[in-house]
């Protein structure tokens, strides 16, 4: 009999997210609007498409394992040194490496109840002990996260800013204060997957050589390249260097590597996407408010629409939309799970939502179970 490791044997056989493709296969029906995974429906710059096309003939090669050119471009863009950057297979991949570096069996780790679940999945995969802090008014509760980290003697605390699934954003000063007051033996993993959606001067300024902070960035959201699987982390050179001991050196594919570099250089396109996303978010909020529902103010590329009742009600609304071939998701835990999370869409997606959302809501309201 093959025996898995004790840690793996003890893990539940669940995954952080079930893909929309799985639902399509189960329901034997394709989605018409894909607004559930916070993908950027506007996609990358036309220059990125061109860069990918130009690289296709090199697909036989392994990509540069150091992603040197991309690192130089990121260094220039962020005004930081190369020794403070590691490239990885999206934030999800980098979170896995970070946990492998820091989390041993029973290591204490703190996160928010109902925050981005892929992080937890990696922590558990290395046998770490997760401690959870509830959200406070739809925000990750920074004060309590640090309090809990101290009590649990945690090594690692995870905060996403802007947050997923609520889209709320802690101001620059709040995060800078947090960084200034971190306990010496605690590392903050600051997941900034949605940083491009935040006005530049509102992002916290953090010294990249601070040994207590590692920031995560991705080309999946703002830059519209979720399928390319590429992101980066910014941190102290010693910690960044440690990734070299364990990372998958040829994990970055050559098309993604070159595409990311070009994406970074086309900031005009990025700005145009930000405008389109903001318009779309406003429309989602308008559609909700015309149905008498509030939305949570979001600085990401999605809106959490408060369905006004409990999780089971929100879930019925979600199922109604899914049945009408609109893919959306909802938070996993109360009180966030009173909401459904709708990603910014194209005008055609919004038109569909505008038509279908009120109907679904009426149906659920009229059903006997509520
Ligand atoms: C979407 C998302 C990610 C995933 O990023 P990838 O680079 O695609 O792995 C990570 N963190 C948060 C908070 C996200 O919402």
Query: Are 305 and 185 members of one domain?
Result: no
Atom of ligand 1 nearest to the CA of 38: 1
Chain Cα centroid distance, residue 332: 15
The SS3 call for residue 218 is strand
Query: Are 203 and 320 members of one domain?
Result: no
In whole angstroms, give the CA distance from residue 12 to residue 31.
29
What is the Å distance from ligand 1's center to 113 Cα?
A: 17
**List of E strands, 11-64:** 33-34
Closest CA to 126 of 101, 161, 151: 101
What is the Å distance from ligand 1's center to 193 Cα?
A: 5
Tokens representing 201 are: 């001067």
Residue 34: which residues within 8 A CB-CB, separation 6 or more? Answer: 20, 41, 327, 343
Nearest CA owner, ligand 1 atom 12: 193
Pocket test for ligand 1, best of 15, 90, 114 (most atoms within 8 A of CB): 90
Query: Are 111 and 148 members of one domain?
Result: yes
What is the Å distance from ligand 1's center to 194 Cα?
A: 8
Atom of ligand 1 nearest to the CA of 226: 8
Asked if residue 4 belongs to a domain, the reply is no
103-118: average pLDDT: 97
With cut-offs at 50, 70 and 90, classify the pLDDT of residue 14. Answer: confident
What is the Å distance from ligand 1's center to 38 Cα?
A: 9
Residue 173: which residues within 8 A CB-CB, separation 6 or more? Answer: none
- Which of 265, 293, 323 delimits the end of a domain? 265
Atom of ligand 1 nearest to the CA of 160: 13
What percent of the chain has pLDDT above 90? 97
Q: What is the CATH number of the domain that holds 311?
A: 3.90.1150.10
Asked if residue 24 belongs to a domain, the reply is yes
C-beta of residue 218 within 8 angstroms of C-beta of residue 91: yes
Asked if residue 6 belongs to a domain, the reply is no
Query: Are 273 and 261 members of one domain?
Result: no
Asked if residue 294 belongs to a domain, the reply is yes
- The dihedrals phi and psi of 295, each to the nearest 5 degrees, come to -125, 155
Tokens representing 216 are: 């995560």
What is the Å distance from ligand 1's center to 369 Cα?
A: 35
Split into its structural domains, the chain has a count of 2
Pocket test for ligand 1, best of 118, 193, 304 (most atoms within 8 A of CB): 193
Query: Are 258 and 272 members of one domain?
Result: no
Atom of ligand 1 nearest to the CA of 300: 15
Q: What is the CATH number of the domain that holds 251?
A: 3.40.640.10
Query: Are 104 and 213 members of one domain?
Result: yes
Asked if residue 9 belongs to a domain, the reply is no
In whole angstroms, give the CA distance from residue 243 to residue 226.
22
What is the Å distance from ligand 1's center to 95 Cα?
A: 10
Query: Are 77 and 218 members of one domain?
Result: yes
In whole angstroms, give the CA distance from residue 322 to residue 301.
20
What is the Å distance from ligand 1's center to 157 Cα?
A: 17
Domain that holds residue 354: 18-43+268-368
Query: Are 252 and 223 members of one domain?
Result: yes
Asked if residue 173 belongs to a domain, the reply is yes
Asked if residue 13 belongs to a domain, the reply is no
Nearest CA owner, ligand 1 atom 11: 193
Q: What is the mean pLDDT of the chain?
A: 97
Residue 291 confidence (pLDDT): 96
Closest CA to 84 of 209, 206, 195: 209
What is the Å distance from ligand 1's center to 44 Cα?
A: 16
- Which of 265, 282, 309 delimits the end of a domain? 265
Query: Are 320 and 171 members of one domain?
Result: no
pTM value?
A: 0.97
- Which of 233, 249, 265 delimits the end of a domain? 265
DSSP character for 136? B
Reply yes or no on whether the pLDDT at 370 is more than 90. Answer: no
Please report, in angstroms and rounded to a whole number, the separation of the first and last CA atoms in the chain: 50
**What does the pLDDT look like over 36-81, one tens digit per residue?**
999 999 999 999 999 999 999 999 999 999 999 999 999 999 999 9
Angle between the N-to-C axes of helices 90-102 and 117-125, in degrees from 0 to 180, rounded to the nearest 10:
40
Residue 369 confidence (pLDDT): 75
Query: Are 235 and 90 members of one domain?
Result: yes
User: Using a 6 Å CB cutoff, which residues line ligand 1?
Assistant: 38, 90-92, 116, 160, 164, 191, 193, 218, 220-221, 226, 231
Tokens representing 195 are: 């940083």
Query: Are 350 and 281 members of one domain?
Result: yes
**What does the pLDDT look like over 77-100, one tens digit per residue?**
999 999 999 999 999 999 999 999
**What does the pLDDT look like over 300-357, one tens digit per residue?**
999 999 999 999 999 999 999 999 999 999 999 999 999 999 999 999 999 999 999 9
Residue 270 confidence (pLDDT): 98
Query: Are 25 and 111 members of one domain?
Result: no
Atom of ligand 1 nearest to the CA of 231: 7
Asked if residue 55 belongs to a domain, the reply is yes
């Amino acid at each position: 009999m093959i025996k898995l490791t004790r840690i793996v044997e003890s893990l539940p056989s669940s995954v952080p997210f079930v893909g929309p493709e799985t639902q399509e296969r189960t329901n034997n029906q394709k989605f018409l609007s894909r607004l559930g995974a916070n993908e950027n429906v506007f996609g990358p710059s036309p220059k990125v498409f061109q860069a990918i096309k130009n690289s296709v003939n090199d697909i036989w090669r392994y990509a540069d394992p150091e992603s040197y050119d991309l690192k130089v471009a990121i260094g220039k863009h962020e005004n930081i040194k190369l020794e403070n950057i590691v490239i990885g297979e999206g934030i999800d991949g980098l979170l896995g490496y970070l946990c492998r570096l820091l989390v041993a069996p029973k290591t204490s780790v703190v996160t928010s109840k109902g925050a981005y679940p892929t992080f937890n999945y990696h922590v558990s995969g290395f046998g770490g002990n997760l401690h959870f802090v509830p959200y406070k008014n739809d925000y990750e509760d920074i004060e309590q996260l640090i309090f809990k980290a101290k009590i649990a003697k945690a090594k690692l605390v995870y905060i996403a800013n802007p947050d997923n699934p609520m889209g709320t954003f802690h101001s620059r000063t709040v995060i800078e204060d947090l960084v200034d007051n971190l306990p010496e033996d605690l590392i903050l993993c600051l997941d900034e997957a949605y940083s491009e959606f935040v006005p530049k001067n509102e992002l916290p300024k953090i010294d990249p050589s601070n040994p207590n902070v590692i920031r995560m960035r991705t080309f999946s959201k703002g830059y519209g390249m979720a399928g390319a699987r590429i992101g980066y982390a910014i941190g102290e050179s010693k910690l960044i260097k440690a990734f070299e001991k364990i990372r998958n050196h040829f994990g970055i594919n050559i098309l993604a590597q070159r595409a990311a570099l070009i994406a970074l250089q086309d900031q005009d396109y990025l700005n145009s996407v930000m405008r389109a996303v903001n318009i779309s978010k406003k429309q989602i909020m308008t559609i909700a408010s015309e149905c008498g529902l509030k939305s949570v103010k979001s600085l990401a590329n999605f809106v959490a629409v408060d369905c006004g009742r409990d999780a089971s009600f929100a879930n019925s609304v979600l199922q109604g939309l899914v049945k009408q071939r609109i893919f959306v998701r909802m938070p996993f835990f109360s009180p966030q799970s009173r909401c459904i999370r709708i990603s910014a869409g194209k005008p055609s997606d919004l038109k569909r939502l505008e038509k279908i959302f009120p109907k679904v809501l009426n149906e659920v309201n009229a059903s006997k179970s509520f």
